[in-house]
Amino acid sequence: MTKRGVHDWAHAAGWGFEAELEIVNSSEATAYVAKYASKQSPITPKGFRRVRCSNSWPKVDEKSGPKWIVPAKNEDVAAFINRVNEITNIPHHELWPAWAEVTNTLAEKQIYL
């Protein structure tokens, strides 16, 4: 592969006119190439963003705080109640009144699911 060949290939791929050919023997090179190649992939969803924590941030304890089970997008109430039952083993006859109470409370505050 020549420098001109790399230039022509990069331009044809839509990566612009500047291209350099350099042999890299580093484990970080794979991550670097994968990062930029995935940005160009047609299967990457529009607006996709990677979210990472800084190395110096403290780790969050997975078991701290309340656990929330929320309805999935377009999940009907019956499917949601069944899913909560499967996760928590709370009987259906207890979940339905709790759902109704929450729904009424939110409706009073004009918040709709």
Domain identity same for 28 and 70: no
**pLDDT, tens digit (0-9, with 9 covering 90-100), for 17-59:** 677 777 777 777 887 777 777 766 677 777 777 666 667 777 7
In a domain, 94, yes or no: yes
Cα dihedral 73, 78, 81, 86 sign: negative
Q: Are 106 and 113 spatial neighbours (Cβ–Cβ below 8 Å)?
A: yes
In a domain, 102, yes or no: yes
Question: Which amino acid makes up residue 3?
Answer: K
pLDDT for res 34: 77
Range of the domain at 35: 3-40
Domain identity same for 33 and 72: no
Residue 63 pLDDT greater than 70, yes or no: no
The domain total for the chain is 2
Domain identity same for 76 and 113: yes
